[in-house]
Structures are given as C-alpha cells and as structure tokens.
Amino acid sequence: MKKPLLLLGLLIPILGYSQTPTQKQLEELTTQSWHHGLDLLKEIVSMPNDATFPEQIEVNIAWCEDQFSKRNWTSERLDTGGIPLLLAEKKEPNATKTALLYFHIDGQAVDLSKWNQESPYKPELKSQEKGGDWKSIPMSLLDEEYDPDWRIFARSSSDDKGPFAMFLTAWDAMIGANLSPDYNIKIILDFEEEQGSPLLPAAVSKYKNELASDMMLIMDGPRHTSNLPTLSYGARGISQMTLTTYGPKTPQHSGHYGNYAPNPAFLLAQLLASMKDEEGRVIIPEFYDGINLTQAEKEILKSVPDDEIAIQNRLGLGRTDKVGNTYQESIQYPSLNIRGMESAWVGSEARTIVPATALAEIDMRLVPESDPVRLFELIKEHIKEQGFQILDHDPSDEERMKYPKIVKMDYSISYQAFRTPMDSETGEWLRTAMRRAFDEEPIQIRISGGSIPISPFVDALGIPAVTIPTVNADNNQHSPNENIRLGNYREGIKTILSILTQPLEPKSIEKK
C-alpha cells in the first residue's frame, strides 16, 4: 500500500463524493486517510496519561486543545474542582440537531515489569507467531504493507485514545473530501474515567446548558467477541463496598490462641459465602427484584451470536454461574463480585498467626431496574441477620467487648446504569449508517456488562445514549500489553465516517 500525500495532516480535497458516501466511497476515504490515522494514533499514545499524576494529564489536555484548534473547533475547559473536562464544539450552518460524543483520554496505571516492550508509551507494531506469542516488527513496514491482524501495543491504544484518534482521522478525511455533517457536534473529553470519574456527575449538572444535545454517542469499549460491527444500547452502573471483620486486636500466635481467638478471615469467608448459593446466584431476598425479561427481550438477547463454548474455553471455565441462562442474560442482572481479599500474610511471608483483621473489596454492577441504595440496604439487613454489628469505623475496646461479631462497612456509588430503547430514532439512525458502511446489520447489545460514566449525562440532559464500540475484544484493556488490531482501527475510521456523513435531520432519517 502506497502512503498517500498529506498536507499538514489533512487530506487533499477529493472531488466527486456525494454528501452521503457509498460503501465503496467510505472505503476509499478510509484508505486515503490510513497513514494519517496511524500517525495520530502513534502520537496520542506516546503521552503518559495516568490520572493519578495531574502533570501527565495536563500534557494530554493541551494536546487535545491543539488538535481541536487546528480543525477550527472551539474548545473550553470545564472546571470540576479537580482535573477539568474538555468540551469542544463544531457548529454546522442551518443544523438543528446536535450530537454529543464522549471519549476518555486517561489510561490505567502501568506496571513496567509486566509489559513485553521497552515502555507502554512507546508504541510497537507486533505480529503473532504460530505459538501465539507477539513479536515486534519494524513500524516502517506500515509505509508499504498492511495486515489487518497486526497490532499496535501501547497503553490506551484501545481504551480510549485509539477511538479518539479514529474520530480525528475520520473528521479529516471527511473535510478533505469537501463533506460535512448536517448536524452540530459537541465532544466531551473525560480525563478521570479510569479513576471512576468522581467529579463528573456534579460537573454535568453544573454545565448542562453547555452540554445540551439531542443524543449522546459513546466512543468507548470493545466490539462483540465475534469482532463484527456492534452497537450497544446501555451499560451497567457500578458501586463498591468494603467489608472488614475483626479478630484479636493484634495478630496472635496460632498455637497459643488457635481454637480460642475467633479468626476474622473465617468470619469474613462465612459472611461472604452466605450471600450466594453454589450456582452463583445472590440469595439475599429481593436482590433481583424488578428484572423480568419478556420473551421478546429474550429473543433479542438470543440474536447476539455468542459462542458460549468458546467463551468458556477462553476463560478456562468448566461451569458458569446460573444467574441467567446465557452470557447475555447474565448481564441483565445486578452482580455481586468479590474483587479482592486480604488477611495477614501469604507465600514466603506467611506466619502461624490468628490475623487481626480480614478485608474484602466488593463491586456491584447495576442495571436500570436496580437502585443501589436499596441493594445496599438489603445487604445490610442480611449482614445483621448473620449476627454482625455493622460499624462505619474501626471498633473501640468497648465495642469489641459489647459485640461478638463486628464488620466495618464502607460503600459508595460511582454511577448508575443506563439503557436506550433499541427501536429509538437514534438507534435506527446509527443502524442505517452502519449498514451503509458494512452492508450488514450490526450486532445489537441490549446492555453491556462493563460500566462507563454516562448515566449522569442521560439523567441531567434527558437524552438517549448509544455506545459505538470499535476495538478488538481481546485488547488487554486495563492490563499489561494493551493493544489495538489494525483491522479494527481501520474499520473504526470507516464506522465514524459513516456516522459523520449520515443525515440526522428528521426528514432525512430513514424509517423502518
């Protein structure tokens, strides 16, 4: 593949394209912009972006501001009391509709020792060997060659800088072809998503007039595991809880005090085990109340082409929990997950002691039908029924003597779930664009299992929201060796091009 001529990162205008490019024309535009898109991707992932280091995030914010300025967009920082949000806007003449796009630019922290390359912030091109290992190959190969299965490894290459680079590439390709959307666009960039976006809900309420739009498009997350074009109409919310149980005030010799001093690790294990049955279902009464899938909804879930055996093989599972009959059914319900446990010491540091404390970190994924405040109250009642006194602080000596079983409980709610009806106008508009790009119906996910901080926008702005995932599902997001498959990056550019050029005015939206 020859590298096309670029001027200042923008395509030379291409004449002869209709305002709504055909599938072939979308492919041509994607090909023309390919190397420009790769340059943007390599540039954006080369900036460290751990939100625990504000000085790193400042570099990323400035870079994004510069990118918008080069494209004649307006942008402003929205003060949150901490790391700001960045709102960019591009108005189109005579447009009456506005789409709000969401990306996040921060990334998960990195453990350099776990990455199979010099640095997570020095992108490397890799190909997969027969044994499954990934081997670095010269980035210069991309000047003349293209293999859709090659991958670029770097932090945030998929989550979520890659999709933002796709958008910038698609925008430049569209403008270079003398095309433009028939609607206004606002983009909100979040720089603390991997920290749970703690300041986002208040900021959305504060700036609801500036954010006002007709719909929200979330450019985050992986495609379905089949890697076919995908739309997702919702995402589970997330809340978290920490439980701490107590034994002796300090760790005690297990020979002297074993069988005498209650072990807090056993107390905690018994408490946690009392919350679920052997098939993984939460047995706290009313935990699943409100979720009643209709037959029509079950048919929608069945239509998602999950290969359950392949999923189980990939995860190494000989059985699955029975909350739902299938993977898709299972994520329609709230979850109760132990994400970490700690008590005393293990491995080479193990000691023959009765521990002083045991701790469990728990997360709950939420669905629209589940009120997290109600769920926490149910959990509290269940804990009390197991004979525990619940505290919000470490127990005093008096409390230790008064209550036989004590648990400290801390909890918080990050954000709620959201779900947009599949038959909404927004859904049909996006399906029309993607049919034009790929000549097939996209896979439709009723709600995704992961969480993204979108419900504050949906609640405050009163708009529908749909996720347009583009990256490969096996991208190692949040983990060492995060990557993006070149075929996904290329199809992501085409996907965004199709949406940017899909008429949104009511008279133009294709009806079923």
Q: Please write the tens of the pLDDT for every residue from 42-86.
A: 999 999 999 999 999 999 999 999 999 999 999 999 999 999 999
Rounded Cα distance between 91 and 185, Å, is: 7
How confident is the model over 34-54, as pLDDT tens digits?
Answer: 999 999 999 999 999 999 999
pLDDT at position 9: 42
pLDDT above 70: percentage of residues in the chain: 95
pLDDT at position 314: 86
What strand order describes the sheet that includes 85-90?
74-78, 85-90, 184-190, 98-104, 215-218, 465-467, 230-232, 443-445
Rounded Cα distance between 210 and 447, Å, is: 28
For the question of whether the overall pTM of this predicted structure is more than 0.75, the answer is yes
Band of residue 507 on the pLDDT scale cut at 50, 70, 90: low
Rounded Cα distance between 216 and 333, Å, is: 24
Give Cα 432 to chain centroid, integer Å.
Answer: 24
pLDDT at position 84: 98
Q: Do the beta carbons of residue 383 and residue 336 sit within 8 Å?
A: no
Q: Quick one: which of 230, 229, 216 has its CA closest to 424?
A: 216
Q: Do the beta carbons of residue 73 and residue 184 sit within 8 Å?
A: no
SS3 annotation, 193-236: HHHCCCCHHHHHHHCHHHHCCCEEEECCCECCCCCCCEEECEEC
- Mean of all residue pLDDT scores within the chain: 94
Mean pLDDT of 455-468: 95
pLDDT at position 506: 62
How confident is the model over 320-362, as pLDDT tens digits?
Answer: 999 999 999 999 999 999 999 999 999 999 999 999 999 999 9
> Token match 């490894």: residue?
153
Rounded Cα distance between 38 and 145, Å, is: 13
Rounded Cα distance between 213 and 457, Å, is: 10
Residue type, 461: L
Residue 182 has pLDDT above 90, yes or no: yes
Mean pLDDT of 351-376: 97
